[in-house]
Amino acid sequence: MARKIIIDTDPGQDDAVAILLALASPELEVLGITCVAGNVPLPLTTKNARMVCELAQRPDIKVFAGCDKPLARALVTAEHVHGKTGLDGITLPDPEMPLQDAHAVDFLIDTLRREAAGTVTLCPIGPLTNIATAMQRAPDIIGRIQEIVLMGGAYFEVGNITPAAEFNIYVDPEAAKIVFGAGAPLTVMPLDVTHKALTNRARVDAFRAMPGRVGPAVASWTDFFERYDKEKYGSEGAPLHDPCTIAYLLCPELFSGREINVEIETGSELTLGMTVADWWRVTGRSANARFMGDVDAEGFFALLLERIARL
């Protein structure tokens, strides 16, 4: 039986690849895609999610608009990384499939209440505003979540939007604090993992050589996306952050980490949004997350290439 998931996202080129990976994998049943403001404002994230579904020839996927700003702060976006549309790199046609009428938060609550307890996994790959809002409005859903597998945070890699913080957590640290403190089973793909899942020429060219539209689209997105990281980090390619969450659901053996305590900094101007990860277990605080630290990059890209080629 396929694992039921909801992808909560702010596409973003790497978000788009994560969505494609999920839609290419029969082991996963995508119940819906909930969109949040993050990499770009909400009107663009909802548009981008639908364009990606149509690229994958899956207009049946339900896409919902969610929160257009963080819980307590002004929205910070990342056009400097993803371009003015969030999906710069290739021009896709405007989507024909409609947005659903329901709000993303209502969809999350209704779905978790409707489905059997412990059968729906949440995959947040953007700021955690929608997830936290759902938890605040309906605390009863927390115990019904099978697992939350999210992309966010860092320990050894520290930060990518500030010296101390990763972007998804930094955009809405109050939401992250709620999610990390909720008690639901939580698996975290931090920069420590995603910065090891780097594209290179051979991997991008393999996408480009695929027949059809999907592989070349991924290559085009990566060509655009990686220019920023190459300049910033001096790396050979760019990290594909968000697909790590979906890859973990498909092949958890590709990843390794520890059960540790992770707290979210919300009070300091200097370290706002920092994931204070007790990797060495020095605080005595109870573990609240499976915090990943490494990935088999070759295995990750082999999986990604094989699945994207199916679309």
With CA atoms as reference, report the closest residue to 203 among 228, 236, 171.
236
Tokens of 279: 């990797």
152 close to 176: Cβ distance less than 8 angstroms:
yes
Q: Measure CA of the first residue to CA of the last residue in the chain; give whole Å.
A: 21
Is 241 catalytic? The answer is: yes
Tokens of 292: 């990943």
Q: Where are the alpha helices (DSSP H) in the chain?
A: 13-23, 42-55, 79-82, 104-114, 129-137, 167-171, 173-180, 191-194, 201-208, 214-233, 243-250, 297-308
- Residues 111 and 141: their CA atoms lie apart, in Å, by 9
Check 80, 82, 103, 241 and give the catalytic one: 241
56 close to 93: Cβ distance less than 8 angstroms:
no
Instruction: Please give the positions annotated as active site.
Output: 241
